[in-house]
Amino acid sequence: MSATAGLAVGLNAVILSVAADSPQLLVVPHGAGGAALPFGPFDPDRHRTFEIGLREWVSEQAHFQLGFVEQLYTFGDRGREAPLADLPAPSEARIISVGYLALTPDATERPAGGGVWRDWYRFFPWEDWRGGKPALLTDQIEPALQRWIDGAEGEGRRESRRDRARITFGIDGRGWNEERCLDRYELLYSAGLVAEAVRDRADGSVETLLGEAMASDHRRIVATALSRIRAKIKYRPVIFDLMPERFTLSALQRTAEAVIGYPLHKQNFRRALDRTGFVVGTGQMDAATGGRPAELFRFRREALKEGPASGIATPRLR
């Protein structure tokens, strides 16, 4: 652990997968049946790099061997250290957390005592529009946000809150931007509508606590990762890091829908995919589709060497 001048460095891993069309987050148990990301302190005497320390903690806590990871963000806001997420740091220490993002097609059950896969929409149920606009938004979130807006002192503050709700949740016809996962979570935190706000400030609403809570600020870290991956699949071919070696185009579309959170237009999705040159047929058929056998495809990794790589198109089904 680094604890110089009241500073402690923690390491967190957001590990995402998709299994049976369900987006999955690898978590570890944390007190009273709650969940946490695999995390632990950086020890400069034992860990030559942050990434080495991260891999050690993930292996020890989640029984999972990380492949490629990328640094997500460094979280250092004052006050995020309460609670301390069990880092062995002095009570007055400022906690700096370095978050990492990993994608894997391996969502198999982990050994007992390790990590468990959980659908990430359990923590962010308002983000799943695959079946249309979630009733949770209409029935609970939008009325609660209106009460939060009305409760501000002065028209200026009320208008500021109203603008924030319009931009993040698309109220008043502003439209839904799927990439604003973090902004939406932070607004719900500010409005006292998530359990972490009640825990940290003891001033949250008791009438509506949305989604499942996580340890420390881990749900905020996951929201940051979801914003990143929803944006990144559009400009880098990272969606294939979630796919097995061979897959049907329908499975690829359902995986993209699970990540992006809304249904895609099938014909437009496939036309755009054809233009990328990312996939090629294998000549093999998958007879387990429940209907006509579908051809299996693979990702053409050689396409990455043929020029600047883009992501995949995500044309919304209207």
- Name the token pair of 241: 């890091």
What is the Rg, in whole angstroms, of the alpha carbon atoms belonging to the chain? 21
Q: Is residue 315 a part of any domain in this protein?
A: no
- Name the token pair of 296: 């299996």
Q: Is residue 219 a part of any domain in this protein?
A: no
Q: Is residue 21 a part of any domain in this protein?
A: yes
Distance of alpha carbon 14 from alpha carbon 308, whole angstroms: 27
- Name the token pair of 24: 């999955």
Which residue is associated with the tokens 């939008």?
A: 142
Query: Do 186 and 259 reside in the same domain of the chain?
Result: no
Q: Is residue 50 a part of any domain in this protein?
A: yes
Last residue within a domain, chosen from 74, 98, 120:
120
> Per-residue confidence of the chain (318 residues) as pLDDT tens digits?
444 457 788 899 999 999 989 999 999 988 766 799 999 998 888 989 999 999 999 999 999 999 999 999 988 766 544 444 455 555 566 778 899 999 999 999 998 889 999 999 999 999 999 999 999 999 999 999 999 999 999 999 999 999 999 999 998 878 899 999 999 999 999 999 998 888 877 655 555 679 999 998 899 999 999 999 999 999 999 999 999 999 999 999 999 999 999 999 999 999 999 999 999 999 999 877 667 789 999 999 988 887 777 899 999 998
Distance of alpha carbon 135 from alpha carbon 139, whole angstroms: 6
pTM, two decimals, is 0.91
Query: Do 110 and 169 reside in the same domain of the chain?
Result: no
Residue 66's nearest CA partner among 117, 16, 118, 116 is 16
Provide the 3-class DSSP secondary structure of residue 85. Answer: coil
Query: Do 67 and 111 reside in the same domain of the chain?
Result: yes
Q: Is residue 60 a part of any domain in this protein?
A: yes
With b meaning 16 or more CB within 10 Å and e meaning fewer, what string describes 131-155? eeebeebeebbeebbeebbeeeeee
Q: How many domains does the chain have?
A: 3
Query: Do 190 and 248 reside in the same domain of the chain?
Result: no
Residue 116 contacts residue 110 (beta carbons within 8 Å): yes
Determine the length of the chain: 318
Q: Is residue 223 a part of any domain in this protein?
A: no
Q: What 8-state DSSP symbol labels residue 140?
A: I
Query: Do 195 and 260 reside in the same domain of the chain?
Result: no
Query: Do 172 and 187 reside in the same domain of the chain?
Result: yes
Which residue is associated with the tokens 């409005």?
A: 191
Task: Provide the CATH number for the domain around residue 289.
Answer: 1.10.10.10
Query: Do 46 and 108 reside in the same domain of the chain?
Result: yes
Measured at the CA of 116, the angle between CA 112 and CA 120, to 5 degrees, comes to 175
Residue 269 contacts residue 313 (beta carbons within 8 Å): yes
Query: Do 109 and 135 reside in the same domain of the chain?
Result: no
Last residue within a domain, chosen from 120, 148, 174:
120
Q: Is residue 224 a part of any domain in this protein?
A: no
Q: What 8-state DSSP symbol labels residue 132?
A: B
**CB proximity list for 283: less than 8 A, separation 6 or greater:** 295
Query: Do 190 and 294 reside in the same domain of the chain?
Result: no
CA atoms within 13 A on the CB side of 8: 19
Q: Is residue 225 a part of any domain in this protein?
A: no
CA atoms within 13 A on the CB side of 73: 16
> Which amino acid is residue 116, in one-letter code?
V
**CB proximity list for 51: less than 8 A, separation 6 or greater:** 69, 100
Query: Do 114 and 29 reside in the same domain of the chain?
Result: yes
Query: Do 15 and 105 reside in the same domain of the chain?
Result: yes
Last residue within a domain, chosen from 211, 228, 252:
211
Query: Do 116 and 148 reside in the same domain of the chain?
Result: no
Task: Provide the CATH number for the domain around residue 20.
Answer: 3.90.79.10
- Residue 78: per-residue pLDDT: 60
- Which structural domain range is residue 141 located in? 125-211
